[in-house]
Amino acid sequence: MSTAQERTLAQYHGLMRVNASAHLLRVAREVGLIAALRSGQQTAEQLADSLQWAHHSAALLIDGLISIGIIEQYGEDYALSRAGHLLCQYDDDLGDAAWQKLASVVRGDDQRSEHDDAERFAYVAATQWSHTSSAMQAAEILDIGEGGQYSGLKILDLGCGSAVWSCAIAHRDPESSVTAADTPAALEAAQSTADSIELTDRFTTIPGDPLTVELPADEFDLVLVAQRISCLDGKAGQKLLAKATRAAKPGGRVVVIDVFRGPTKPNLTECIEALRLDLGTRGGRLRSLEEAQADMQDAELQRIQFTFLAASDINMGMAVGTKLELSD
């Protein structure tokens, strides 16, 4: 058998395993196994008594779920893995509510104008903690604190979500402070993030829609816009970026952290993120690096630099631009 044939067969079997794994998760949810283990670990006998299932087939299902890391076994007890608990907490339906709309969207039957952006923003806020490693890497790249070039910054987190990105920066530099601007629901999560890492005394909030909230002009050393612009259409994204620039001090930096189109053929992760935006927002989309640079230039930012964050699992990148000095 040729190498090409081997690759084709490997791809075929891989696709079948992906599909089978998805069915394992859905069946576990449908028969009540996931719900049963959310309350705590149980033995096979306890599960059989509560779920009234066929022992042999149920054992095979559990073996499959163990193999994909959703269930763990400790002696005679079975328990949800950490990944399993995360699915229950943030993607209880495995994203089916969104993905089931894909066929309608592709056929043009689904009107994006009817999508609720607030749901997407809430999901981003709820899951932003999963990008903590990327946030720490971003703070390091920005050279803030720990002997870096910048310290004692006044930071604005515009459209903060749960403020994981700005709090990572402030945690790295004990002299920096954060002002977070977003809806009241998001600010509640953001305050919780700040309190959890002892930033309470350096953390203030401004409630309001990030696109319309009143902000002081020329006030902040660094304005952060994280995981927001990709959720907006072109016009709204440019408006938010212009608002961020106005809030920055002359010579201050505007930092956009988001998912971006890569320079090469898109991988599955990039395609999934693009589809999620298509399914869950009125006008959101992945920007290319060229589009991101053009938008920052239109906002009158200069010395624009871009880097992908290696710690990110979803093509997260960071674009940094500097606001013109008054003398420029």
Q: Determine the Cα–Cα distance for residues 45 and 55; give it in Å rounded to an integer.
A: 9
User: For the chain, what percent of residues have pLDDT higher than 90?
Assistant: 78
Cβ neighbourhood burial of 33 (10 Å; 0-12, 13-18, 19+):
buried
pLDDT at 1: 72
* CATH label, 112-323, candidates 3.40.50.150, 1.10.8.80, 3.30.70.100, 3.80.30.20: 3.40.50.150
Neighbours of 257 (CB within 10 A): 23
Task: Return the pLDDT at 240.
Answer: 98
What is the CATH topology of the domain spanning 3-94? Answer: Arc Repressor Mutant, subunit A (1.10.10)
Burial of 74 (0-12, 13-18, 19+ CB in 10 A): exposed
Residue 98 has a pLDDT of 86
pLDDT at 92 (0 to 100): 76
Average pLDDT along the chain: 93
Name which residue leads in pLDDT, 257 or 112. Answer: 257
The full length of the chain comes to 328
Which tens digit of pLDDT belongs to each residue from 27-82? 999 999 999 999 899 998 899 888 888 888 999 999 999 999 999 999 999 999 99
For residue 273, pLDDT beyond 80: yes
Alpha-carbon distance 290 to 306, whole Å? 10
Amino acid occupying residue 236: A
Is a pLDDT exceeding 80 seen at residue 318?
A: yes
In this predicted structure, the answer to whether residue 126 has a pLDDT above a threshold of 60 is yes
Give the confidence band of 18 by pLDDT, cuts at 50, 70, 90.
Answer: very high
pLDDT reported for residue 327? 61
For helices 268-280 and 117-127, angle between their N-to-C axes, nearest 10 degrees? 140
Average pLDDT over residues 138-153: 94
Are 3-94 and 112-323 equal in CATH topology? no
Beta-bridge mates of residue 118? none
pLDDT at 172 over 80: yes
Residues 6+ apart with CB under 8 A from 206: 179, 180, 181, 213, 214, 215
Residue pointed to by tokens 């920005």: 142
Six token digits for residue 198: 């002892």
Domains in the chain: boundaries:
3-94, 112-323
In this prediction the pTM is 0.88
- How far apart, in whole angstroms, are the C-alpha atoms of residue 299 and residue 37? 51
The three-state secondary structure class of 73 is strand
**Given this model, what pLDDT does residue 109 score?**
87
For the chain, helix (H) and strand (E) counts, in that order, are: 14, 10
Burial class (CB in 10 A: 0-12, 13-18, 19+), 106: exposed
Per-residue pLDDT reduced to its tens digit, 220-254:
999 999 999 999 999 999 999 999 999 999 999 99
pLDDT for residue 310 is more than 80: yes
